[in-house]
Structure 1
């Protein structure tokens, strides 16, 4: 037997060899690669040198950590201790990712399981797996885009559309489309062997140099708006560009600068009808309203559900993304000469159904028409993540899935540079911008717009709650008419009035107000229900604003409306603070400071009653009024939390109004009372109405509208 000292020495050598073997094994497989990549991103954040490639690497590490964790847990062939060790190593990488994201908040959205995975991220993932010696399934190596067909059973064709198709069964083919493409493609293909999409995207990160991404626009000259409307210079410039022949626009103006009007008037200037507008549900009614204002001579129709109520012969078709899959068939065959997508970042995920539908429609329009008008509207800054704009460029026809389009390629060929030349990137960026990128901020066009303005955003109340509100309004109208008829029948004075007896209308409205003051059937209760019904839509719009322009102030009157909004923001991962009447002074101040100082707190949800006075929230320039005030003074006080001395941007208050309800009448009454208040302050004898008076006026308006059907205006 060997001496004890020799046995100890042999044991030590064995342990040392085991440790060396263990360290060698630790450097094998995917985990060491993930750790190195995570550290690279961490160092990039620390040095402030983050690039698009760094974002891609971060997301790929997060994806593979998740995949490897699932694989290790399911690996029953390994020992418990080995699996535990591997999971600990993966936890260490996850901690690095989490700490990195806290220093660079834009990375947080890449950690979600539902985060969009770009083509660049998919390619990097495959590279890391192959480098780790992990066999990649053949189906994952395919570069072919997903082409899952739209579910045929959901497609519909409205009757009025069939009538239009029968009235004009032969759409003329524009053969100049093919001729134009052939002419552009005849250019010598010096860049044919180069991969260009990546360099084009990178050019917006490497070659910006602080310059604004906006094309040169022509002088608008004498362009005029429809009667009683003012066309601002920055709006007229885009319309003038369309009139001069430019046909593709990525219009990325900040919210509040009138992108909808610009799109409608551009279509008119280009005579590009029929026009298809694909928009979020929350702004669908507003598009119809804007079309009536800016292009009143062109009929607009809104597609709801299966489209049973649309006008198939309209010049402007408005449809929301959510129901596009039902209508993509007939929309592609209708012969549109222009197409607009609003909140265009909705299509950034190219694998989503909505993105495939939009791209398919754009392709069909471009195949038929040589130079259709195509416009993508978004308030999201281009610098956020240029990868998001890949689908938008494809919609506009600037690029194909894997290469530039003919026109953009022609511009790049003319530059005489390749991605190997440093000068390629600023030149490529300029070429893309000249394709039609337009970006203006409020501060850039401050001379064009008022320092403070209210923009009404009509929304439609769908679902059971919306129907119940409209039913309640109809019941209230019937009750008012019944009271009116009873009063007329009981009249003993013998006095008769031709048409509507407006004095009696006011008496009946007063009786109704007094009799229902203590019940749930009064106008105040109805307005609360309307507020609840539109709370989600108002919150959705506020979330879109927050992602586009940063800080937003959200006002509501009722606690339950605030609760719905806050739940929506939490679900979207948007940071918010809350200012309510039941807070302690300490909690209130903490929330105010969070909104003012914390860049991750994008929205402050305020009670109209508790936060309408005494606050300075001018870090924001956008206000969302989810519920209407009962007086103009209350509304003004809320807006003035932002519109204060020291505010260096024009302020826009977005007033969310439920269309086809009493909400619209209340808004009109508030605005009319604002005029009375102004006259009273100027020395008029007019009295400024209270909220109780406004309730009476609302009932008067309801009854008058109902009686107008019985006594039509002879002058109408």
Structure 2
């Protein structure tokens, strides 16, 4: 079993051919070149000058960084101390790239392993290698293709062209009659989107959040597989003519099978399935299992290997931009968006592509099947609903579309009427929201629980973290006092007794904004990373103990260095493990998943919280160790539900490792409070004291500053 997937082997270094290549060769030169280039990109982006050249240079640095990190790790000739020093420097460059990427969605997409390497990036990477005294191999240089010159981002796979030429009768028919014009409605002058959102935010306890579904006609598929009753209900609804679904079942209730069989019942082919990168292969497997008579193809990169005649086309969000052109003309009759909360930011490129494809399908196809799948539709705010509703064709940018508008009109109410909100909520639910909980529809799934394990961080690491937290608090206090003094010296304002909580929130917002752009210094992000590093071996040791006593364990972490530290400890203790992380190829990731699931001697799966938190089935384990905290309850829930799902026979326990007496403990409380959002909006749970829109990072900073302002100076 491979410990982890490795990038491609590093280019062979050759001797310099002339006087221009007389620099000393070695990893130090590469690191220096990367550090300088990353700083140049950071400065350019910070100044707001993000051009195609900037993006190409960013990608070239990211590619070379990935290769150099893999080379250093596998360099058996270097001492452990030298490798550690080199990796530390490379990690610093990775941090610069990550903090730079948060400023631009296109830069973030370039960090994905499936991102197409532009010709400019290839050439710039070659220049970087040359600057480091390394001659790139010939295959690094590639002349731009004619198509790429015309449009760098759009491609048409050859197999799609072959489909278009093979048979003119395969050409899609776009002559479908237009839907009738919307009827006149008395609500036309009302602002309705905000009241619709508020109708979910103010839902009464016990309010239904699932459309009425028909009794299943048949629970056995054509291939003899048995569906659970709740799965068969959705398939039956699709067979009866319902065509839009927000399938928001709790994670682990088999949404993939429901979507594939609903498409079969609706004859919604060709079907486009848009998914996160980590689950592309799994969707193809599931399609072969549930709908074996339908051919499925997966788009990788530019799509050179896809089957243009397939019934089901699976594509990940990161490469969708290259394929929206031909997909829009492919004659799609159905579209499924998996992990639909990925499109919650409507200004992002991937959301815009998903929404534009949905609009084209609805304009050209009578009654297409549109399904948004997510067990966690609300991540931060009730507004997360908007993009999903727009994808489904229930609303546009400004108002409900005709079907929903007609339903609202039929209530006879307006937003000024007290009964409007529950009635409006029901109208939206009836459009196609399907939400079932495990406790209600899968009683045979054992219970799950989250158990917190506080750990004391002793020694230099613990002292350093507590000192960093005090320094952060002092910096915010100084900022608060400076702002308060400026207020007093300015125009007359009402005095505030005690702590000015409005100003506290403002200072927290300033600090949060600075933290996302700073590449050094102590902030809430670096502190959480330091805490994760300090907890790494403690969490890993506990996971090893669990594996010896209770069987297979899934170990989740956010940062690569925490995963590395855990894997080093497992290696020293002789515990076999699989590693599932974002830097791996699809093949390597699947091999490591299979090894954990199928090999009884592989005791632990070391998983990236972001790369392995969705789409994987790891139910062979019933114990999960969360070495680092997520920033959202939804991400934490997704991770736990890799094990707590249909087919699990044991109670599932997630062991959260919490650093006592640090900001880590406060963030754990905030995550738990914030987990109430979906429960309140969809499950009719009673609201808690925490605001549903509270941002965990912001709230943690507010709590830290408030505590510092409340503290007696003598306690310092």
Q: TM-score range by the shorter chain?
A: 0.3 to 0.5
Which structure has the larger Rg? 1
Task: For CA contacts below 8 A with separation 6 or more, give which structure has more relative contact order.
Answer: 2
TM-score after normalising by structure 2: 0.46
